[in-house]
A = this chain, B = another copy of it.
Amino acid sequence: MNILITSGGTTELIDDVRGITNHASGHLGKIMAEHCLKEGHQVTLVTTKEAVKPEKQANLTVVLISDVASLMETLKPLVKSHDVLIHSMAVSDYTPVYMTDLDELQTVSDPALLLTKKNTEKKISSNSDVQVLFLKKTPKVISHVKEWNPTIKLVGFKLLVDVTKEELFSVARKSLINNKADFIVANDLTEIDAKRHHAYLVDETNETLVTTKQAIAEMILKRVSHD
């Protein structure tokens, strides 16, 4: 199969030297790519400069992106030419619009007016004691995947922090339905460390637990191969 994997985390620039980052090392994406390659598949890995990556090898193409806009533009054609998308990248849900100081915020009649402004400085000055950063929602990349290619198998990811299993599964199922995913890999940051990575493969009816990154990779490939 032609398997498309996203990994790492996007960074949305505030100015030329600062950005908002979603932490993601890329380790899981690397292991998934290596497992798919070992099993004889073609892999395209869409990731970031900062993320860890597999060694260069036959049947592996690596494409680097930085922010949500570049991810969107890069993924659209790739989704059309692949059989499976394993979308593990931590995608920023907000992007900076305008950064200002408390003075400007206190003098404006409605703070919403500042959403139409833009910073012209290339490096925002650090003179003020307080800065106020306005952010707007980014487009939901995963929600477009089945529009772009209705037959692609779509594996989504959902990371929450310190929630109950009920909440984790409920949020995963919402994503499953909203994004027409085939299944969602749901995980909780409190259950991930250097040694273990608890994750639940969630579909309409079941939740299957695995406990390491290697097991996540194996379970995903098995499911997309047989479904």
* Interface, chain A (partner B; CB < 8 A): 11, 14-23, 50, 90, 92-94, 102, 105-106, 110-112, 115, 122-123, 126, 128-137, 159-162, 189
Contact = CB atoms under 8 A, between A and B. Distances in A.
A20 B16 contact: no
Contacts of A14: 20
Given A115-B130, A129-B136, A132-B133, 14 more contacts: A11-B23, A14-B20, A15-B161, A17-B90, A17-B161, A18-B20, A102-B112, A105-B111, A106-B111, A122-B189, A123-B160, A131-B134, A131-B135, A132-B135
17 contacts: A11-B23, A16-B161, A17-B90, A17-B189, A18-B21, A19-B23, A20-B20, A20-B21, A94-B126, A106-B111, A106-B112, A111-B132, A115-B130, A122-B162, A123-B161, A129-B137, A130-B137
Contact of A94 (B11, B22, B115, B131): B131
A2 to B, nearest CB: 30
Given A111-B106, A134-B132, A135-B133, A122 B19 contact: no
Contacts of A102: 111-112
B17 A159 contact: yes
A161 B122 contact: yes
A19 B17 contact: no
Nearest to A160: B123
A18 B22 CA distance: 5
Contacts of A128: 137
Given A17-B90, A18-B20, A23-B18, A137 B126 contact: yes
A13 to B, nearest CB: 9
Given A93-B126, A112-B102, A161-B122, A20 B22 contact: no
Contacts of A110: 106
Nearest to A49: B25
Pairs of residues from A and B, 8 with the lowest C-beta to C-beta distance, nearest first:
A122-B161, A93-B126, A133-B133, A123-B161, A131-B135, A16-B161, A21-B21, A105-B111
A110 to B, nearest CB: 7
A131 to B, nearest CB: 5
